[in-house]
Structures are given as C-alpha cells and as structure tokens.
A and B are shown apart, each in its own frame.
With several copies, the nearest count.
Chain A
Amino acid sequence: MADRDTPLINNLEDGPWPSYVKEIKRAAKKNAAAKDLLGVQELSFKDKITHWKHGGIVGVTGYGSGVIGRYVDVPEEFPAVEMFHTMRINMPSGWFYTTDALRKICDIWEKYGSGLTNFHGSTGDIILLGTDTKSLQPCFDELTEAGFDLGGSGSALRTPSACVGPARCEWACIDTLDICNNLTQEFQDEMHRPRWPYKFKIKVSGCPNDGVAAIARADFTIIGTWRDSLRIDQDEVRRYVKNGFDIKGIVTDKCPTKALAWDEKAQKLNLRADDCVRCMHCINKMCKAIRPGLDRGATILIGGKAPIIKGAYLSWVLVPFMKMEPPYDEAKELLHKIWEWWDENGRTRERVAELIERMGLKTFLRAVDLKPLPQMVYRPRANPYVFFD
C-alpha cells in the first residue's frame, strides 16, 4: 500500500512530537503486516471504529498466558494482519537494558513479527506487536534462548514492575529492583498459568512518590518508607535559605501535618518527628538537606485497580511497615495467603479488592492473619451496623 492511500494518518507525520505513523511506515518498508496495519489505521480513522476482533486462545506450549490473540475484521482487505497477536515479554526490573539485549530482541522480532513494538506496555512488558499463530512458538524459543521470557496475561499474576529505585534515586527506601526481580522469579508459575478468578498485579515503588503508580494499579502495592525520623542537615538547610529559598512558602506551609517549622531566629528547621507522615514533600523540595530516615521498609497496600466492574480502587493500607530483606519471605507468605483466600472465594472476574469489599475487610484480615490497625483506615465507621461475635 502506497503513502497516498492513507491521507488521514499521514497527517500525523507532521508536528514536533515524534510520529508513530512514521514508525509504522519504517516497519512497513520491510514487513507486510506492518504495511497492512497502516491500512487498518487509516480505515479506523475513516470509520471512527476499531477494526479488531476478539482474540481466540493462542499461545506457546506449556503457557496459558503472555500472548494476546488478535484478528482483523476485514481480513479480505488486509490479509497480512488476519492474525496480529501480541507477545508480552517480561522486561528486566527497572527497564534497564544493554544494547546487546535490545538488539537481540529486535533481530528476533524482525524475523518473526511485524517489527513493531511498544517500549513498554503500561503494565511494563515489552510488547511485541503483531504476529501470526505459527510464529509464536519459534519466536518464543529464540527469545528464551536470548534470556527473555513471556510476561503475564489473563487470570494470572501480571508482570510485576518497579521504579528505578536504588539504581539511580537517592530516596529509595527498599531495593525495588531486587524485590521485583525476586518476586517475578519466585512466581513464574502463577504468572504463566492462569488459574485465578482474575488478574493480579504487583508493583514496587521505592518511596511514597510512587514512581510506578503502584497505589492506583497494583492489587499488591509495595511502597518504600521509614519508621524513624527523616534526617535533616541543618547546615544544608541554612544554605538553601541563604540562597533565597522560600522555606516557609515552599516547604513548611505545605507539610500536610505542619510537622515542620522554620525557626528564623535560631536558623533551624524544627521537626515534630511523630507528626511526619512521610509524604516526601520537604525531601522533594530540599533533597540536599532532608533525607528519608534509616529504619527502612515498605508499606504494603492492597487492591488498586481500574474501574471495571465495581469502580476504580486505590490500594488500601494492609501492613503499615514490613522489613524488606531477601528472600522477602514475609511478603511471599502474605501473597500466598491472599491468593489462597481469593482463589477460594472469588467469583470469575472479581479482583481481590472487590472480593474484600463483598466479604468485608474483617473477614479478609482474619483470613490472612493480620490484626486490625487504625493505620488501615482514614477513620472508623460512622454507622452503627456492627456485627459482634
């Protein structure tokens, strides 16, 4: 198909932001499926509807997940994308790569697929975008030879992800990359063989800034934090102030609990450590002077997810503080308890948060052997409908 046939999408080659249409065209030069994808895109732009159909079940031997089947609804017109499955390839923690590894993936995908990809899918996988059923197995075999494996899909554990953490961030309170990698390796079976009521996601952020949005989109949210006082270097504080930094306007006024006060006379930043809720703001604003404490671990939260079916959930505090040291047995045990309870009680397509809502947090806490704590709630109940037993 020649360029002149896609006037609508061609329009998107212009403009300052890098153009995905150009990218498809680059791939289209070498690959028929990529070329047909241009046509399908153009058709959708014209019709204003999608032209993809539900995927059937396709995959590689021994796996129940990692591949999303996809078929075009106008195969006569676009035979090269009659099948256009994606493969989800589990990225290394923190999305670090050697160029060697990347080039290997490119070469394999040039051989077996459309040559199009997402770096990365929004769960975190490398998305290899578009191939046919027969190419899946050989492509997979070569990928594993190159050291890569499939990620999750379907009613399984999904590919865990982690922020850059200790690799390049001074605020990481936990080793996000190691936790992510360790849990991923531990739960290969849970990821590759769907057997749960629905999907389950784990994400790891090194601090409450939550660089992988774990609280919004992970069923099991691990966020680094500390239990002692944050560390203040008063000399550095004074340096900030001397340089004209509006410490009151930018920092102390914005502390959510007003735990900080700048003593102008003593030229000292005072902290009521008990009232610090570790929001990160003062640290974010004065990273040379204020740093997280040293007694570090993670807050574990449960239940984050998108709106389908009962509405979106942000994760809820489950364990205010958990030490996070390899081999992370406490976290793993907790995961096993959660999965067991969910597997036993969950309905089809019921995420763990929805099940907790349906059966009650109390029931859930008992099932996973956790004590109720005020940190789990913003506030106690207002209604008098208490079940005593």
Chain B
Amino acid sequence: MGKSDIGPPSYKKMLPAVIEKNYGKWKYHEITKPGVLRHVSESGDEVWTVRAGSPRLVSIDFIRDICDIADKYCDGKLRFTSRSNVEFMTPKKENVEPIIAAVQKLGLPVGGTGKAISNIVHTQGWAHCHSAATDSSGLVKAIMDELYPYFTSMKLPAKLRVALACCINMCGAVHCSDIAIVGIHTKPPKVDNSKVSAVCEIPTTMASCPTGAIRKNPDPNVKGLVVNEEKCMYCGNCFTVCPAMPLADSTGDGVAIYVGGKVSNARHTPMFSRLAIPYLPNNPPRWPEAVNAIKNIVEVYAKHALPDERMGEWIDRVGWENFFKLTGIPFTEYHIDDFTHGIDTYRTTTQFRW
C-alpha cells in the first residue's frame, strides 16, 4: 500500500510566475475582446488570459494537446475555470494571438467572458450515470452548437449561465441558473419485486419517498413493495436507495426547462430557477424540441432585457405574465407550485399585468 490522505497537491506549486508574484495584488481588469482578459497589478505587471471552451468529457490526448499550448506560451502552466473552460495565462501581450490561433487550431472556441453564454455546467448523463433521465454531453453539444455565437461574442444584456442536470438530483448548480435544463422522469418506478427483498432495505426504501407513496405490498404472498402511482412525482429518490425500482422509460423520460436563477449577489439577491417548460421529449441526437425552446428563450431575453439585467432580473421587472406571453410558452397547472412551500408563490395582491 502506498501513501494515504496526502490531499491534493498545493496550488502554490501550480501557479504561473506572474501570478505568484502578484498574488493578491491585482488592481483591475478589462476584457479586451471575447475570451481575452487583461489583469493589471498594483506592481504594474499584467497578465493576459485566453479562455477556451471545452466539451468537458475529453480524452487524455485533449489534455496533452492543451498542455502543448501551455508549454509553448505559458511556461507550462494553465488552469480550468469553475465552468470547465481552459485558461491560458501569460504576462506577454504578444502571446495572446498565437495562443488564440493554437486554441482554434484544436477546434476550440475562444470566448465565454463578459456578457456571454459561457460553458454549460453539466453532468454524466447516459455516458455514466444509472440515474439519468436524459443525456448530458450529447444534449449539451446539441445546445452549444446552436448557442455558439453567444459564447464567442459578448452581445447579450448580461451573463447568461446555462446548466444541465440529467436528473433531478441536479448535480451542479443547476437550480440557480439563468437557464437550467433538467432530465425528468414522468412515470412512476416499476417495482421489480423479485429483486426488492434481495437488494433493497425495505424500511429505508419506504422512508425515502418524499410523498409517502411507497407501501409494503398488500398481498401477503408477495414480499415486496407497491407504489401508489397517484402520489408519485417521479423524483427517483427510491431508486437511489433501491436499484429494484427503476424509473427510466423510453417515452416518459425527457427534459424540463427552468429559468431566471442566479447565484451572484450583484444587484438582485440569488434566485432559484423557475419552471418555464414542464416537459420536452428526449429526441436524440439533436433534441430539436429542447434546443429550439432554449434558443427561443435566449432570443426573447436578448431582445427585451435591459443592459446588465440577468434573465431573472428581466423577468422580475416585466413579470412572469409577460415572460409567458413574450416567449409564447403556455402556462399550465404544472407551473403552479404544490410542494411544501408552494403557497408562498401564490399572488397575494391585485398587482399584475393583463
């Protein structure tokens, strides 16, 4: 047995020289063009950053490719952002264009800064997770192919953060994104009672259901569970604790779209994303329904929001009545919250738009 509990390597060993020297001394920055940042230090030093998009699910050869660029222009250092973009940093302005050229040669876009759509925070999907109600990398690729011009430019009213989770476990900060795409089941779990008692702990499974939909099978001859389908809202929590209750369904699974969330404290306090479209079908490889719906929301937002207005701030100003009107998305009973704190969303005023 080798080492244990050594923890991650220290970031100190990983910093570019100009960063080490000016650590904590940065004074201001500017975005000189999409994907290019210039940070100026109190010492007078500056560091240029080129930000490149990445599909996140990559091969080791991809990593080696970007290492080549960093070795050539960045003294063998690079970093990733909190949204899986790659950042090449250099104190030398003259390196900027060559880095951009090298990045583009790899087929990677430069951008994601300022009033742009940055990389989509996402999850495993059909590539790795047993829980996925939709794919993740595939759907992200389909979306980003369409939203690409918003990554490489800065023409939106404000930052627009898109995130995708392949099930409502919502790995990622999906629930507070300008646009959140969430894989959902719409059919109750199919209980496989031949396996339940072997692979699941019955009381834990029953307790896992937020709505109390799971009961012991009333038939004394069957050792197992039944789901009260009327009480099930397909959260999949039972499946997480009991593999014998799969929810995946070819026709039932799909995606929901939530909008208007944010986490920054700038201007408006952080907000949850809220339901815009309850269900769109899984239609690989390009998910046209979902992709078009997202594009429509982005375009309506881009057209109507004021400068520096995040999606949620825009909706806050014009009202959800107008969000639905302007996007043409129908408002349904699914939009009305009927979970624990639902009533706090009901309108307690005569103030509204027609």
Direct A–B contact in complex, judged by CB atoms less than 8 Å apart? yes
Residue of A nearest to B72 (CB): A99
Q: Which of B126, B243, B258, B267 contacts A382 (CB 8 A)?
A: B258
Known pairs A102-B67, A168-B39, A301-B350; A147 contacts B9 (CB<8 A) = yes
Binds A, one of B26-34, B218-226, B295-303: B26-34
Q: Is the CB of B345 within 8 A of A223?
A: no
Known pairs A384-B168, A385-B210, A387-B233; A181 contacts B267 (CB<8 A) = no
Q: Which of B19, B176, B256, B321 contacts A375 (CB 8 A)?
A: B321
Residue of A nearest to B170 (CB): A306
User: In the complex, what distance in Å separates the CA atom of A145 from the CA atom of B2?
Assistant: 8
User: In the complex, what distance in Å separates the CA atom of A53 from the CA atom of B248?
Assistant: 11
Q: B63, B235, B319: which has the most chain A beta carbons within 10 Å?
A: B63
Q: Is the CB of A41 within 8 A of B138?
A: yes
Q: Is the CB of A388 within 8 A of B186?
A: yes
Q: List residues of chain B with CB within 8 A of the CB of A225.
A: 350
Within 8 A of B (CB), among A36-91: 37, 40-41, 44-45, 47-55, 61-63, 70, 84, 86, 90-91
User: In the complex, what distance in Å separates the CA atom of A160 from the CA atom of B40?
Assistant: 28
The smallest beta-carbon distance between A137 and chain B, in angstroms, is 8
Q: Is the CB of A172 within 8 A of B24?
A: yes
Q: Is the CB of B170 within 8 A of A27?
A: no
Given contacts A184-B7, A380-B337, 6 further A-B contacts (CB under 8 A): A61-B1, A149-B3, A274-B354, A316-B346, A372-B336, A380-B275
Binds B, one of A114-122, A261-269, A322-330, A331-339: A114-122
Q: List residues of chain A with CB within 8 A of the CB of B267.
A: 254-256, 279, 281
Q: Is the CB of B233 within 8 A of A50?
A: no
Q: List residues of chain A with CB within 8 A of the CB of B278.
A: 386, 388
The smallest beta-carbon distance between B351 and chain A, in angstroms, is 4
**Interface digits, B118-146 against A, CB 8 Å rule (1 contact, 0 not)?**
00011101111111100101100110110
User: In the complex, what distance in Å separates the CA atom of A145 from the CA atom of B192?
Assistant: 45
Interface size class of A (residues with CB under 8 A): 35 or more
Q: List residues of chain B with CB within 8 A of the CB of A167.
A: 11, 15, 19, 23
Q: Which of B28, B144, B347 contacts A377 (CB 8 A)?
A: B347
The smallest beta-carbon distance between B260 and chain A, in angstroms, is 8
Known pairs A18-B54, A97-B79; A384 contacts B60 (CB<8 A) = no
User: In the complex, what distance in Å separates the CA atom of A3 from the CA atom of B268?
Assistant: 49
User: In the complex, what distance in Å separates the CA atom of A386 from the CA atom of B341?
Assistant: 14
The smallest beta-carbon distance between A167 and chain B, in angstroms, is 5
Q: List residues of chain B with CB within 8 A of the CB of A309.
A: 208, 210, 235, 237
The smallest beta-carbon distance between B73 and chain A, in angstroms, is 11
Q: List residues of chain B with CB within 8 A of the CB of A129.
A: 57, 127-128
Q: List residues of chain B with CB within 8 A of the CB of A164.
A: 79, 81
Q: Which of B260, B263, B282, B340 contacts A48 (CB 8 A)?
A: B282
- Which 7 A-B pairs give the minimum distances between C-beta atoms? A15-B145, A381-B337, A314-B348, A213-B173, A44-B126, A208-B265, A382-B272
Residue of B nearest to A100 (CB): B76
Q: List residues of chain B with CB within 8 A of the CB of A387.
A: 232-233, 334, 338
Q: List residues of chain B with CB within 8 A of the CB of A243.
A: none
Known pairs A91-B8, A120-B84, A384-B235; A144 contacts B2 (CB<8 A) = yes
Residue of A nearest to B20 (CB): A167
User: In the complex, what distance in Å separates the CA atom of A161 from the CA atom of B84?
Assistant: 13
Tell yes or no: B59 within 8 A of A by CB: yes
Q: B7, B132, B286, B354: which has the most chain A beta carbons within 10 Å?
A: B7
Residue of A nearest to B341 (CB): A311
Q: Which of B64, B132, B210 contacts A106 (CB 8 A)?
A: B64
Q: Is the CB of A284 within 8 A of B266?
A: yes
Residue of B nearest to A276 (CB): B353
**Interface digits, B316-336 against A, CB 8 Å rule (1 contact, 0 not)?**
011111011000000111111
Residue of A nearest to B285 (CB): A11
Q: Is the CB of A18 within 8 A of B171?
A: no
Residue of A nearest to B231 (CB): A387
Tell yes or no: B270 within 8 A of A by CB: yes
Residue of A nearest to B172 (CB): A122
Q: Is the CB of A99 within 8 A of B78?
A: yes
Q: Is the CB of B64 within 8 A of A103?
A: yes
**Interface digits, A7-44 against B, CB 8 Å rule (1 contact, 0 not)?**
01101101111111101101100000010010011001
Residue of A nearest to B47 (CB): A168
User: In the complex, what distance in Å separates the CA atom of A120 from the CA atom of B145?
Assistant: 21
Residue of A nearest to B260 (CB): A379
Q: Is the CB of B19 within 8 A of A17?
A: no
Q: Is the CB of A45 within 8 A of B55?
A: no
Residue of A nearest to B121 (CB): A122
Residue of B nearest to A164 (CB): B79
Q: A109, A122, A362, A388: which has the most chain B beta carbons within 10 Å?
A: A122
**Interface digits, B183-223 against A, CB 8 Å rule (1 contact, 0 not)?**
01010000000000000000010001011000000000000
Q: List residues of chain A with CB within 8 A of the CB of B263.
A: 210, 213-216
Q: Is the CB of A48 within 8 A of B55?
A: no
Q: List residues of chain B with CB within 8 A of the CB of A209.
A: 264-266
Within 8 A of B (CB), among A257-302: 257, 274-275, 277-281, 284-285, 287-288, 291, 299, 301
